[in-house]
Amino acid sequence: MTGAVIVAILVATLAPAGSPSAAADIRPRHHPVTAEGLADLPALDPVMDCADVTGLDLDGVTDAPVTIRSATVSTTGAPAPYCDVRGTIAPADTIAMRLPVSGWTQRYVQTGCGGLCGSSNINYTQASTCPPIADGTIAAATTDMGHQGQNDGSWAAHNPQAQIDFAYRGVHVTSQVARAIITRFYGRPPVYSYFNGCSDGGREALMEAQRFPEDFDGIAAGAPANNMVVQNTFHHAWNVLTNLDKNGDYVLLSAKLPLIHGAVLAACDGLDGVPDGVIDDPRRCDFDPATLRCASGQAPSTCLSPAEAGVVRRLHDGAVDARGQRLEPAIAHEWGSEPEWFLFVPTAQGQTVGSENFVLGFARYLGYPNVVNPGWRLSDLKFTVESFWKTVQSSSYLSAMDPDLGGFQRDGGKLLLWHGWNDQHISPEGTLAYYDAMRKTMGRQAVDTFTRLYLFPGVAHCGGGEGPNSFDILTPVMAWVESGREPGKIIASNVANGAVTRTRPVYPYPTVARYDGTGSIDDAANFVAHTPRQESRSDYHWLGERLYSHGYQTRCTAVGTKLVCRPSETWLTRRA
C-alpha cells in the first residue's frame, strides 16, 4: 500500500461524514471492470467485531447525538451474513444497517422509504438482482425518517422536528452516520455511495440531489412523489370527489374497469405495431370514453352511462377548477392503467378508497404549516386558485421540485429517473414535467451528461402491472459512476411462478422499443431501439408549473411546537 493511499485513508476516516465524498481521493484511477460495467474492487473484511459497533464514538458525525442500540450478526433477508446495526439519530431518526461480515466490495447503498414512512426496513426496490446486492457484498442502510408507525400522519401533530426529518433531514443525517460507521467498521470509507428509492423514496432521492448533492455518487429515483403536496391534496382528492354524485354516491364502480380497459386496448394497443396488451406511450392514445356510452336498450353491464363516461374522462384528465384551469399536470391517469384504478374506484357503495385515506392523513396533520385539524374532510378542499396557493405553501420544504441540479452534476453525480406508465398513485407526467424543467433550466446537453429517464410500459406504481415489471435499475447507475458506461437498454421481465414469461427492452427516453418483425414478441432479443422523429409532447402548463423552479425552497427549524422556515418570504409565500 502506498503512503499516499494510507494518508488518504486516514484523512477520509477522520473527515466529517458530511463533507464532500471522502472517498474521492482514494478511488482507483485504473481498475478492472466487470461485465456489468462495475469496478472490480477488492473485497474487504471488517477490522472490528460486529458487537463492538455499539461502542463507537460518533460525536460530531452529524448535527445531533447518535446512539447505537444493537449490533448482531444476522442472515435474515440477505444472501450472506451481515452485522445488523440498529440505532437512533436524535431526536427520533431510527436507522437500520447491514454490514457484510466478510467480502465487502467497498460500496454503500441507502434505500428509501414509501408512503409517510415510519419504519426502517431496507427495501431494494427494483434492484434486488444488482450483483453486489444479490451476493450480499454491499453495505446498506435506511431510516424511518424521524417517526415510528402512524402512517395516518398523526405523528406530525405539534411535532415540527418530525416534519423536518420527514421532509429532508432524516435521509441526510442517516447518510452521514452510515458512512461514518462503515469507515470505522472496515477501516476505510465506501469508495462509492448510492441511493435507491421509489414513491416517497423517489422524492427522498431527488431531495438529496437538490439539497445535499455531496451525499451520493449515484441516485435512482423511481416514481418520485416530488410534487408531494399537490399529489396528496388535489390529485388524490379529485380521484374521489369527481366520482361522487349530488347525493354523495359513487358514480363509477370497479366492475366497469375491465370494460373500459378492453376498449382502450382495442383503440390503442396496436399503435406501436405489436398487439400485446401494453401501450408503450399512452400519450399517443386518443381514446374517448364517450364511445362506450350505452345505446338504447343496451345492457348496462356492457356500456357506460353518460355520468360514468364523464367520470372516466375526468379521472384521466386530472384536477381542474370551475373554469377548467389545471390544478395538477395534465393527465392524472394514463390510458391503459385502468386495471389499477381500484385505488380510487371502489367495488361497492360505502367504501373508503385509498385515495381518500392518503388525503386525510396528509392534510389533517402535515399539509398545512403549523395547522393540526383532525376533523378536516375532503369537502374542505376547494378547487380554486386561492385554495391552491394556500395549500401548496408546505411545498417549500416537503416537495423536491428544484430542477437545478448543478451541484450534483459538479460533484460527478449520476441520476436515473424512472416511472411506470401505468402508475395509479403518481402520474408519470409529473416526472416528465420535472425532466423537462431540468432541461430548460440547465440545458439539454448538460442534463444528458448526468441524467437518464426511463418509462416502463404497462408498469404500475413502483412495480406490478400488466407490462414487464421486474428489472434492475441500480446496476446501470453504478456502471455509469464506476466505469463511465452510459446507461442503455434495461431488460424488463414478466415473471409468473418463478418463470420468465416475457422480456422487453426499455431505452432511455425518448427512445422506445420496436418489434423487428421476427420471432416471439415476448423475447427482448426481437426488439430494436427506435427514436421518434418528434417526441410525443405533454402539456406542462398548469397553475403550479412555477413550482418546478429554483429559489422558493426553505430550510426549517423547530421552535417549540412551531415550524419556522427561512427565508420567510419567497414568491411562493407572496401567493398565499
Which whole number is the average pLDDT over 141-146? 98
What pLDDT, on the 0 to 100 scale, is given for residue 28? 55
CA atoms of 420 and 538, how far apart (whole Å): 16
What pLDDT, on the 0 to 100 scale, is given for residue 124? 96
What pLDDT, on the 0 to 100 scale, is given for residue 6? 33
What pLDDT, on the 0 to 100 scale, is given for residue 371? 97
Instruction: Count the neighbouring beta carbons within 10 Å of the beta carbon of residue 306.
Output: 10
* Beta partners for residue 506, in sequence order: 490
Task: Tell me: pLDDT of 1 over 70.
Answer: no
Instruction: List alpha helices for 426-541, DSSP H.
Output: 428-442, 444-448, 474-483
pLDDT band at 422, cuts 50/70/90?
A: very high
**Residue 249 half-sphere exposure, CB side, CA atoms within 13 Å?**
7
Instruction: Count the neighbouring beta carbons within 10 Å of the beta carbon of residue 252.
Output: 24
What pLDDT, on the 0 to 100 scale, is given for residue 257? 98
Yes or no: say if 231 and 209 are a contact pair by the CB < 8 Å rule.
no
Yes or no: say if 62 and 173 are a contact pair by the CB < 8 Å rule.
yes
Residues 6 or more apart in contact with residue 356 via CB below 8 angstroms = 236, 237, 240, 344, 378
Phi then psi for 388, rounded to 5 degrees?
-60, -50
In the block, which residue shows the cell 380497459?
Answer: 261
- What element of type H or E holds 73? strand 66-74
Which whole number is the average pLDDT over 159-188? 98
CA atoms of 231 and 226, how far apart (whole Å): 9
Secondary structure letter of residue 401 according to DSSP = -
Yes or no: say if 286 and 262 are a contact pair by the CB < 8 Å rule.
no
What pLDDT, on the 0 to 100 scale, is given for residue 30? 65
Secondary structure letter of residue 194 according to DSSP = E
The SS3 call for residue 245 is: coil
pLDDT band at 151, cuts 50/70/90?
A: confident
Model confidence over 111-133: pLDDT tens digits? Answer: 999 999 999 999 999 999 999 99
pLDDT over 70 percentage in the chain: 95
324 Cα distance to chain centroid? 29
CA atoms of 402 and 442, how far apart (whole Å): 11
CA atoms of 164 and 561, how far apart (whole Å): 12
Model confidence over 462-479: pLDDT tens digits? Answer: 999 999 999 999 999 999
Task: Tell me: pLDDT of 243 over 90.
Answer: yes
pLDDT band at 293, cuts 50/70/90?
A: very high
Q: How far is the first Cα of the chain from the last one, in angstroms, to the nearest whole number?
A: 60
Yes or no: say if 277 and 508 are a contact pair by the CB < 8 Å rule.
no
Task: Tell me: pLDDT of 20 over 60.
Answer: no
CA atoms of 48 and 42, how far apart (whole Å): 18
| C-alpha dist (Å) from residue 372 to 366, 566, 576 | 8, 21, 18
Yes or no: say if 139 and 108 are a contact pair by the CB < 8 Å rule.
yes
CA atoms of 567 and 34, how far apart (whole Å): 47
In the block, which residue shows the cell 477522520?
Answer: 14
Phi then psi for 87, rounded to 5 degrees?
-160, -175
CA atoms of 264 and 520, how far apart (whole Å): 24
CA atoms of 227 and 325, how far apart (whole Å): 18
pLDDT band at 546, cuts 50/70/90?
A: very high
CA atoms of 542 and 326, how far apart (whole Å): 5
What pLDDT, on the 0 to 100 scale, is given for residue 29? 55
What pLDDT, on the 0 to 100 scale, is given for residue 150? 76
Mean pLDDT, the chain, as a whole number?
Answer: 94
pLDDT band at 534, cuts 50/70/90?
A: confident
Task: Tell me: pLDDT of 512 over 80.
Answer: yes
pLDDT over 90 percentage in the chain: 92
**477's grid cell:** 447507475
Task: Tell me: pLDDT of 15 over 70.
Answer: no
Report the relative pairing of strands 512-515 and 527-530 from DSSP bridges. antiparallel
Residue type present at position 466: E
pLDDT band at 536, cuts 50/70/90?
A: confident
CA atoms of 185 and 73, how far apart (whole Å): 13
| C-alpha dist (Å) from residue 238 to 231, 327, 462 | 10, 10, 22
Nearest of 183, 28, 208 to residue 99 by alpha carbon: 183
The SS3 call for residue 109 is: strand
Task: Tell me: pLDDT of 107 over 70.
Answer: yes
Report the relative pairing of strands 490-496 and 451-456 from DSSP bridges. unpaired
Task: Tell me: pLDDT of 432 over 70.
Answer: yes
* Phi/psi-derived region of residue 195, left when phi > 0, alpha when psi is between -120 and 50, beta in every other case: beta
Which whole number is the average pLDDT over 364-391? 97
| C-alpha dist (Å) from residue 566 to 96, 161, 373, 555, 557 | 31, 15, 24, 6, 9
Task: Tell me: pLDDT of 385 over 50.
Answer: yes
Nearest of 411, 416, 420 to residue 477 by alpha carbon: 416
Report the relative pairing of strands 192-198 and 139-143 from DSSP bridges. unpaired
Residue type present at position 106: Q
What pLDDT, on the 0 to 100 scale, is given for residue 22? 39
- What element of type H or E holds 451? strand 451-456
Which whole number is the average pLDDT over 269-294? 96
Residues 6 or more apart in contact with residue 197 via CB below 8 angstroms = 111, 112, 113, 125, 203, 204, 205, 220, 221, 222
Which whole number is the average pLDDT over 220-244? 98
- What element of type H or E holds 363? helix 354-365
Yes or no: say if 419 and 456 are a contact pair by the CB < 8 Å rule.
yes
What pLDDT, on the 0 to 100 scale, is given for residue 517? 96
Secondary structure letter of residue 250 according to DSSP = B
pLDDT band at 437, cuts 50/70/90?
A: very high
pLDDT band at 535, cuts 50/70/90?
A: confident
State the Cα torsion 24-449-526-421 to the nearest 10°.
100
Which pairs from 493-500 meet CB under 8 Å and 24+ separation?
Answer: 493/468, 493/469, 494/467, 494/468, 494/469, 494/470, 495/470
pLDDT band at 537, cuts 50/70/90?
A: confident
